[in-house]
Amino acid sequence: MFNMTKSLIIHGGAGAWRISALVERAIEAIRKCTEQAWRVLSEHNNSLDAVIEAVVCMENSGYFNAGYGSTLNLLGERELDAGLMTSTGLLGAVAAVKSTRNPILLARIIAEKTPHILVAGENADKLALLYNLPPLPPPPQHVVERYRDVLKKLVREEITDSYYKSLSSLIRGGVFFKLINDILNVYDTVGAVAVDDNSVLATATSTGGVLLKLPGRVGDTPIPGAGFYADKNIACSATGIGEYIIRTMPCLRLSLEYEKQNDAEKALNSVVDYVNRTAGSNTMGFISVDKTGKILYAYNTEAMLISYVYRGEVKVFLKPEPRVNVITLS
């Protein structure tokens, strides 16, 4: 089917976004990244290039939990995940890379240059070097400060969020104590989805994972169907707590519901009902475009930073209303 409606939506992560200095900079940055990605989509009519442009821009900014701005694990290190997919069958992902600035570019190399789908760890970093991808610089000051603050709270048992209960016991148990509540301030992951005039749908997602994760932990972002998915009907990118996202597979579920119902709104509502029933609130959000250029989003966290182009104008929302929405562009 010929599609006359190019469409793009990107996210800078679901979470609470309460640190005001960061929020302002992230809003500026997501606007700039949307403009850049839209320019690529308009000039080259290539949805994959557009979503990569958006995600690389956010990975480089330092104000998102991806690439340079990635959050630190329990040992104060970074382990980054990313994945991408198109409706034409391109699929690639990387997990737990430590020294590559733009994991989404490495995911593209996996998809285009290797027979594999997912490559992890230091050998993925070595592949990035072979392809001359830029190295990951040391983390920005605000990321290090936040790590120290939250770690102190975890050690003092001031974090009450259930997600961190077992980590807190592990630390008190001694294994990690010498190495090292604001968990509600967590912000998470970046992603972009787009459709071009050839009806090619594309998605790209990148993350530093959850703050204070155990070294070696991999979340939803490099898992097809969980953190990202694209087929002939939809492209989707998820954000939130990876363990809940992997259990509920919102992006795969959206694709299956769309195929069954052939209706963006019904498909979206089915997924949201399932996620809220199964994973509960304050767990995740996701963005999507469908083959007709409709923009979809939903979130059950306090906020989700999103940006899209509506009739030529870049829109940015931190707490978009309604919280479950389908936007028709024409």
Residues that bind ligand GLY in the complex, under the rule CB under 6 A = 188-189, 207, 209-210, 219-221, 239-242, 245
We find the least distance from the C-beta atom of residue 189 to ligand GLY, in angstroms, to be 5
Q: What is the DSSP letter of 114?
A: S
The SS3 assignment for 137 reads coil
We find the least distance from the C-beta atom of residue 286 to ligand GLY, in angstroms, to be 10
Toward ligand GLY, which CB reaches closer, 222 or 293? 222
Query: One-letter amino acid identity for 111?
Result: A
CB of 205 closer than 8 Å to CB of 227: yes
**Cis ω for the linkage preceding 224 (within 30 of 0):** no
Which residue, among 8, 14, 7, has the nearest Cα to 305 in the 3D structure? 14
We find the least distance from the C-beta atom of residue 104 to ligand GLY, in angstroms, to be 14
**Cβ atoms within 10 Å of 136's Cβ, excluding its own:** 21
Query: CA 291, CA 269: separation in Å to the nearest integer?
Result: 18
Toward ligand GLY, which CB reaches closer, 189 or 300? 189
Toward ligand GLY, which CB reaches closer, 219 or 250? 219
Question: Which element (helix H / strand E) includes 11?
Answer: strand 7-15
Residue 221 annotated among the catalytic residues of the structure: no
**Cβ atoms within 10 Å of 148's Cβ, excluding its own:** 12
Q: What angle do CA 247, 250, 254 make, to 5 degrees?
A: 145
CB of 126 closer than 8 Å to CB of 110: no
The radius of gyration of the chain's CA atoms, rounded to the nearest angstrom, is 18
We find the least distance from the C-beta atom of residue 266 to ligand GLY, in angstroms, to be 26
We find the least distance from the C-beta atom of residue 98 to ligand GLY, in angstroms, to be 15
We find the least distance from the C-beta atom of residue 208 to ligand GLY, in angstroms, to be 8
Q: Which residue sits closest to ligand GLY, CB atoms considered? A: 219
Query: One-letter amino acid identity for 170?
Result: L
DSSP characters over 200-251: -EEEEEEE--STTPPTT---STTSBTTTEEE-SSEEEEEEE-HHHHHHH-HH
Q: Catalytic residue among 71, 86, 189, 207, which?
A: 189
Catalytic residues: 189
